[in-house]
Structures are given as structure tokens and as C-alpha cells.
Amino acid sequence: MHGATLAPMTLSFLQIAMVAAGLLFLRAMFSSFSDPTNGALKLIDFTGVQEILNAPSPEYVIIDVRERSEFRGGHIPNAVNMPFFASPGALGLDEQEFEKKVGFKKPSLEQKLLFYCRSGTRSKRAAAKAFSYGYENVSNYPGSYQDWVSHGGRTEK
């Protein structure tokens, strides 16, 4: 094969268009996998969480999806703990089973749920899971606990 040369490849306009269409199709397919909420998930930053805490309302449920040991080490005030890995399908349980498994009253479908974790990964997944159980007023704090602490947010233990 030494000294062999490759023949130049010529693509027709139709072939290029077909490849481009295929790539666009794949992009559309995979983007829906990365956002199962189809853009309905609201993102809340540090200031938004502060506003929620400064005007407490039973309308909001702040849910920390970190593990129980992380939660006990410190959490955002008024948050409840629903560890994502220990109970990913908890919001799909009936009210009695939910309370027995998680330890607090199951939020109603009308309440606003704000999810956070350590850095935003588990909370995004938990928020998407909440949508799959019929919750529509769902928010994620992408910076999560790390962002909260770095901004000097008040914590509880």
C-alpha cells in the first residue's frame, strides 16, 4: 500500500442534503432525551430562592434530593428531604405510602415544587421525574447547595 493514493470523493448536493437532514433529525431526537420536560422546567437562581424564603407560603415545597447524611450536614431553610437515589419514584406513591417512605406529607399536584441537590444534577433528574407524575409547577435550582453556600445563604441543620 506504500505510495497508493486515494481517489477524490465527490458528493452530490442530494447526498450532502441527506446527511445534513439526518444530523438535524438526530439532534432533535437526542435533545428531547436531555430535556424530558420539553422546556417547561423553570430554573431558579440564588435570588429567586431567597425571594421564596422571604415570603414563606404553603404553596411552595422546597425539596432537597441529596442523601440523608448530606441533608443532616446542612440544608436550605424550610427544605424537606427526599433522597433521589433512595426513592426516585416516591412522588408516584399514594399519599400514605409517600409519607411512610419519605417522612413528610406528599405535595399536591397544585403546589410549586423547587428541587435542589449538591450541584444541580440530581435535582434536574428529580424535577423531570416529578413532571412524569403529573406535577406541572416544578422548578430546579441548578446551582443548588454549592451555589447557595458560596453566596452566603443561610443554612439549617
Residue 58 has which C-alpha cell?
404553603
* Residues ≥6 apart with Cβ < 8 Å to 142: 43, 45, 120, 123, 124
Residue 38 has which C-alpha cell?
420539553
Catalytic residue among 102, 117, 130, 138: 117
Neighbours of 68 (CB within 10 A): 13
* Residues ≥6 apart with Cβ < 8 Å to 44: 52, 114, 139, 140, 141
Alpha helices of 13-154 — where are they, by DSSP H? 13-34, 46-54, 68-72, 95-102, 121-132, 144-150
* Separation CA 13–CA 146 (nearest Å): 50
* Separation CA 14–CA 98 (nearest Å): 56
Task: Respond yes or no: is residue 116 known to be catalytic.
Answer: no
Active site residues: 117
